Amino acid sequence: MLLATWWLSQVTGEGVLITFFGQNLRQNEGKRVTLLSVLPHNGDKMQNDKQEALFHNMNRIGKLYFKYGTMGSAKTAMLLTQAYNFEERGMQYLCMKPIIDDREKDNVIRSRIGIERKCSWIYPDSDLHEMLKEMFDRTQVVKDWILIDEAQFLSPTQIDQLARIVDDYGVNIVCYGLRTDFQSHLFEGSRRLMELADTIEEIKSTCSCGRKTIINARIDSQGNIVTDGNQVEIGGDDKYVSLCRRCWRNRRIESTNRNAIKFNDE
């Protein structure tokens, strides 16, 4: 079943009466609405009930959320806990994750604390609006919530596509991810989320000094701070440490001095 947007004056011809879910469309002539079909009921009550539920979902008001935090701030655990709560309450939800994070061979979202859940992959060239639209049309069920892990790896275009899903279908989409990279620069996906999200929430964690962490510092095998390299380098505690800005600066200075001493000794 195709989703289309129509001006009712175009689909209700002179002398033609189209009834959709018991509503006379001609009464709303000139108003712009989103229709799943312009066909009358087909006599299949279950099918018609699904269509009507999906039609009414179009009037829901959804929100785009961005929940960000440094590595180790329990973002993924929060996502998985939220998914469990939705499941317990019988709500329709979907978990998704960019496939750029290749530490997992299976399509799962896994937390450091050991819990996991199946998810749908998002590829770099995925059109998220078309992907989700096709899913809703095929299943005739609009998800209540979509939960996305590692959202910083999405492209700005994909964030725009998610925003369209929120606006067109009234779905709530929650994106969990990092705000900045190891050089303290915004990820492109995170930048677009900061620009478009209805609600932005920081998931706070604490540096070893007691201050709030804001830097996802990259380290080498000796624990020295790394300041150069590709923006994306997948890794865990062996490659990254979450620090406050002050500790990040001090450790960069220490690493620079340590390397300078080694150079002079040579």
Residues 192 and 156 sit within 8 Å (Cβ to Cβ): yes
**One domain for residues 38 and 73:** no
**One domain for residues 80 and 13:** no
Specify if 179 maps to a domain. Answer: yes
**One domain for residues 36 and 158:** no
Specify if 150 maps to a domain. Answer: yes
pTM: 0.76
Q: What confidence score (pLDDT) does residue 245 get?
A: 95
**One domain for residues 143 and 184:** yes
Rounded to whole angstroms, how far apart are CA atoms 95 and 79?
Answer: 9
Domain boundary among 155, 185, 205: 205
Domain boundary among 205, 222, 243: 205
pLDDT (tens, 9 = 90+) of the chain, 266 residues, equals: 334 333 333 343 443 343 344 344 443 433 333 444 444 445 555 555 555 555 555 567 899 999 999 999 999 999 999 999 999 999 999 999 998 855 566 788 988 888 889 999 999 999 999 999 999 999 999 999 999 999 999 999 999 999 999 999 999 999 999 999 999 999 999 999 999 999 999 999 999 999 999 999 999 988 889 888 889 887 777 899 999 999 999 998 887 777 665 544 55
Active site residue 130: no
DSSP element (H, E) containing 84: helix 75-88
DSSP element (H, E) containing 255: helix 245-265
| Residue 210: burial class (beta carbons within 10 Å; 0-12, 13-18, 19+) | exposed
| Residue 132: burial class (beta carbons within 10 Å; 0-12, 13-18, 19+) | buried
**One domain for residues 12 and 84:** no
Specify if 88 maps to a domain. Answer: yes
Q: Which two tokens stand for residue 187?
A: 């990820």
**One domain for residues 52 and 78:** no
**One domain for residues 35 and 135:** no
Degrees to nearest 5, angle at CA 253 with 252 and 256: 85
Taking phi over 0 as left and psi of -120 to 50 as alpha, with beta for the rest, 89 belongs to: alpha
**One domain for residues 80 and 177:** yes
Q: What confidence score (pLDDT) does residue 12 get?
A: 39
Q: How many residues does the chain have?
A: 266
The residue from 29, 87, 150, 233 that is catalytic is 150
Strand order in the sheet with 120-122: 120-122, 93-98, 145-148, 172-177, 64-68, 199-202
Q: What confidence score (pLDDT) does residue 191 get?
A: 98
